[in-house]
Amino acid sequence: MKQEFTFSSRDGRTALHGIEWTPDGEIKGVVQIIHGMVEYVDRYDRFAKFLAKRGYVVVGHDLLGHGQSVVSEEDLGYLAPKKGNAILLSDIRRLWRMTKDKYPERPYVMLGHSLGSFLLRQYVQSYGSELAGVIYSGPGEYGFVSLLAGRLLAGVLIKRGGGHYRSEKLNQLGLGRFNKDFEPAKTPYEWICSDKLERNKYVGDPLTTFTMTVNGYYHIFDGFIKEKSVAGRKRIPGDLSVLMLSGLEDPVGAYGEGVAKIGKTYENLGITDVEKRLYEKERHEILNGVKWKEVYQDIYLWLEKKTRQGR
């Protein structure tokens, strides 16, 4: 069963749009999805139905400034005047609490894609011990200096044009740069996924092709910087179960290098239960690529292992 709902964002003004997919029979566990930048949770419908048929509740929401979680069209790509990154994390936490209250005895896993994986990497620094495992889909790892430069530029642009301003220059430091290795290209989004039909859906969807506001970029860069905190990373539980998934043609993950770097960081922190899957000829959205059946099966088998003890 698929059910839509709303709940209040920590920003104090926005009703967040959420969806829950539930199995018809036994519930083995819960998977909470944190989607990526410039998209929305209903794009995971096929994946969620796949897991629901196999006994997993799947839940997620449109992040603030995305999908139906906006007050007006102007707010697409806009987070909050202040503490935008903290509000994103607080909203994820609020949905966790709501869902955990409904299924208190079931093992709970979170899956973060792209921006969602960065948010999840911050989330586990505070709440990792409460989870049966985490899945990072399409993760990346960026240099500290470039992130500081991006945040600085976004801050300057906010002062000049306001938080709702959209800057092509800043966008080129964000999502706009990923298509260059696919030139000459028919669309600006060849990097998104390997399936042409799915790319065409993406290109034709106004909720996946808008430009983030300078406010949105500021808080996202700020969150990426906070995730690199040594003190924060040391708070990640050593027994956290992690599955990392990436396409070898994904520029966001530096063609597999991002997964290697994150894995090395976790290894140095003493986190030993880390599995990696790299898919040949797959791009950024591996859940929507031509190998989606293989990816789904890999996730399902990992979930079966990690949630079995909690049943």
Question: The tokens 């990436």 sit on which residue?
Answer: 246
pLDDT tens for residues 109-144?
999 999 999 999 999 999 999 999 999 999 999 999
The DSSP symbol for 69 reads -
Query: Across the chain, what does the average pLDDT equal?
Result: 96
Please indicate, yes or no, if residue 181 is contained in any of the structural domains: no
Residue 310's pLDDT band, with cuts at 50, 70 and 90, is very low
Please indicate, yes or no, if residue 171 is contained in any of the structural domains: no
What count of other Cβ atoms lies within 10 Å of the Cβ of residue 173?
17
The predicted structure's pLDDT at residue 176: 82
* Spatial distance between the Cα atoms of 170 and 166, rounded to a whole number of angstroms: 8
pLDDT tens for residues 143-172?
999 999 999 999 999 999 999 999 998 998
Asked if 79 and 215 touch (Cβ cutoff 8 Å), the reply is yes
247 Cβ neighbours under 8 A, 6+ residues apart? 138, 194, 253, 278, 279, 281, 282, 283, 284, 286, 289
The boundaries of the domain holding residue 78 are 2-141+230-310
Please indicate, yes or no, if residue 273 is contained in any of the structural domains: yes
CA triple 74-76-81, angle to 5 deg: 80
* Spatial distance between the Cα atoms of 179 and 189, rounded to a whole number of angstroms: 6
Please indicate, yes or no, if residue 113 is contained in any of the structural domains: yes
Q: Rounded to whole angstroms, what are the CA distances from 269 to 6, 25, 121, 288, 307? A: 37, 39, 13, 32, 24
pLDDT tens for residues 77-86?
999 999 999 9
What count of other Cβ atoms lies within 10 Å of the Cβ of residue 239?
11
Please indicate, yes or no, if residue 185 is contained in any of the structural domains: no
Please indicate, yes or no, if residue 13 is contained in any of the structural domains: yes
Please indicate, yes or no, if residue 99 is contained in any of the structural domains: yes
At 250, which CATH number? 3.40.50.1820
The predicted structure's pLDDT at residue 128: 97
* Spatial distance between the Cα atoms of 155 and 11, rounded to a whole number of angstroms: 20
CA triple 277-278-281, angle to 5 deg: 145
Structural domain count, the chain:
1
Residue 311's pLDDT band, with cuts at 50, 70 and 90, is very low
Task: Name the pTM for this structure.
Answer: 0.97
